[in-house]
Amino acid sequence: MPNPVINQFGRSSGGGRNVPSASDLKDMFDKPAYTGPRPTDRYMTLDDVVQRTAAMLGTILLAGAVTWVALPDRLFTPVLIVAAVAGLGLGLFMSFTQRVNAPLALIYSVAEGVLLGAISHAFESWHHGIVVQAITGTVMVAAGMLIVYKTGAIKVTPRLTRMIIGATIGVFGLMVVNLIAYLFTPGGLGLRSGGAWAIVFSLVCIVIAAFNLMLDFDMIEQGIRNGAPQKMAWVAAFGLTVTLVWLYIEILRLLGYLNRN
């Protein structure tokens, strides 16, 4: 069987093939086998994640403020439904495909901002000061979980990760079942009716959302440590934003229940 190297670099007297010159061979040996990433490629850094998370949260706050001030009462329900469907659909698309970039993330943030602005305005109209309390609670829980994570008081192990993911799927499954039950029974399963079960369920959701923040922190740290590409910073920022939004809504709900009873 003919050797392919000999076939390529055979002597010219054996078939008219070109023989590399000494300078050609020197260039071949001097050329590195791997030149590393292109100069335009960068690894994900903590600054990248912070900047993108700030952009998403800032967009949510801006869209929420505009909705709070400018949304007419007659359009409250349709705008709420459209924003909820848009945010849920886009969020699921980015979660399952991991295709998160600046346009998609910011459009999602606008939808979430409109949704949160409308909900927050409704709660604030019912009980003055509740939104500030919910925002303060969200910041305190997030800061507390960051301290717990950084000090190593709770280690993010594979077993803990599986437990948190399982619990998250479980509570969202209950939310779906409760929503379906609303179609047949007033109050559904009672998980959002404002009673004792609703308070307990919101407390459980807040705890699970708080532990999801630890998973977000760990994902960011592992991505930076393992040299994840810069584009993954949008994925990390999206995950962190989703958890913070969920945490805020659950705290707002819980405060509403407590002020009602």
Q: pLDDT tens for residues 148-162? A: 999 989 899 999 999
| Cα–Cα dist 212/206, whole Å | 10
What mean pLDDT is predicted for residues 30-53? 71
Do the beta carbons of residue 234 and residue 102 sit within 8 Å? yes
Is residue 32 in a domain? Answer: no
Do the beta carbons of residue 41 and residue 88 sit within 8 Å? no
Domain that includes residue 59, residue range: 46-260
For residue 72, pLDDT beyond 90: no
Q: How confident is the prediction for the chain on average, in pLDDT? A: 85
Do the beta carbons of residue 235 and residue 98 sit within 8 Å? yes
Is residue 102 in a domain? Answer: yes
> At a CB cut-off of 8 Å and minimum separation 6, what does 188 contact?
178, 179, 180, 181, 182
Is residue 128 in a domain? Answer: yes
129: alpha, beta or left? (left if phi > 0; alpha if psi -120 to 50): left
What local confidence, expressed as pLDDT, does residue 5 receive? 38
For residue 37, pLDDT beyond 70: no
Which pTM does this prediction carry? 0.81
Question: 40-44, 85-89, 120-124, 205-209 — which is least confidently predicted?
Answer: 40-44
Do the beta carbons of residue 195 and residue 253 sit within 8 Å? no
For residue 16, pLDDT beyond 70: no
Is residue 193 in a domain? Answer: yes
pLDDT higher at 152 or 109: 109
Is residue 18 in a domain? Answer: no
What local confidence, expressed as pLDDT, does residue 40 receive? 52
Measured from the Cβ of residue 217, the count of other Cβ atoms closer than 10 Å reads: 20
Total number of domains in the chain = 1
Q: What are phi and psi of 231, to 5 degrees?
A: -65, -20
What local confidence, expressed as pLDDT, does residue 261 receive? 56
172-225 pLDDT tens trace: 999 989 888 888 888 778 788 878 888 999 999 999 999 999 999 999 999 999
Is residue 103 in a domain? Answer: yes
What local confidence, expressed as pLDDT, does residue 260 receive? 77
Percent of the chain clearing pLDDT 90 (strictly above): 58
Is residue 26 in a domain? Answer: no
Is residue 6 in a domain? Answer: no
